[in-house]
Amino acid sequence: MTIRFDDRVAIVTGSGNGLGRIHALELAKRGAKVVINDFGGSRDGIGSSSEAALAVVEEIRQAGGTAIANGANVADYEQVQAMVRQAVEAFGRVDILINNAGILRDKSFAKLELDDIHAVINVHLMGAMYCSKAVWDLMKEQNYGRILMTTSAAGLFGNFGQANYGAAKMGLVGLMNMLAVEGRKNNVHVNTLAPMAATRMTQDVLPADLLKITGPELATPAALFLVSEHAPTKLLLSAGAGVFSGARMEETAPVFLSTEPTPEDVEEHLARITDWNSAAPRTDAGQQVGMFVETALKGIQAGNN
């Protein structure tokens, strides 16, 4: 069945260029009314301009779609609230939010200045938090919403020189985990995309031969699926170069050692504790805590028999 977004209203942050631009164009092509949000700054977040957002709006209109431009800085909650009001005034609702805006200030941890840390976390993590917060009540009231976070392999697995970026990107996975649990009863689904794409953000991060085969249009299909009507919730997909995979947090089966464990006990039983053949995901924190309590009670009972 063809995925369509007719009568849906989408906000795509950072959609004046790169991956966000392709997300927005494809949403509009499939019927969505789109708010093109872009602060218009440089890759490291300096300066601002409305030219990029206006150009994408014009591109969508020339193709027969509907879009408006917005220049809010996602790291400013008042500006984000005004953006959502603009969307509602123009289109009556907000159905989809793609948190795509981001900046880079890559340096080794030793050389990172506090300003570099704050700037990157404020745009990636706090920007997504602010935008999600600004649409949350609307989506709950209309009993429909699709929110997409954008993470990165740097956050999931680590990468040299990106401590600020990686910390923010892993924080977005945690935000998805929480909002997916809270939004489920109101049909607000929250997912995450980990894209590998050739954009101005990655032009000097990815090797040249890889840039040639990783156009952003090859990651966007995963994004559109994750904000579609029949999308699941709490799903993390990696996408790039026409390749897709799922990623998730897993935990090994809990192991009871004793009622008075020592560091030496942990060392002695580490292979059993970290037996990844026993690993499985957890639906939420409650399940994980429940498994620990159950394992502890069984271990204590066995020791008393």
> Catalytic pick from 77, 130, 144, 165?
165
Mapping DSSP onto H, E and C, the string for 149-165 reads EECCHHHHHCCCCEHHH
Closest alpha carbon to 181 in 126, 128, 234: 234
Q: Are 302 and 258 within 8 A, CB to CB?
A: no
Q: 109 burial class (0-12, 13-18, 19+ CB within 10 angstroms)?
A: exposed
- Relative orientation angle of helices 163-183 and 127-141, to the nearest 10 degrees: 10
Beta carbons within 10 angstroms of residue 187's beta carbon: 15
CA distance 124 to 112: 17
CA distance 42 to 125: 18
In the sheet that 66-70 helps form, which strands lie side by side, from edge to edge? Answer: 66-70, 33-37, 9-13, 96-98, 145-150, 188-195, 236-240, 243-247
Q: Are 80 and 74 within 8 A, CB to CB?
A: yes
CA 227 to centroid of chain Cα atoms: 12
Is 144 a known active-site residue?
no
DSSP calls for 32-51: -EEEEE-----TTS----SH
Q: Which residues are catalytic?
A: 165
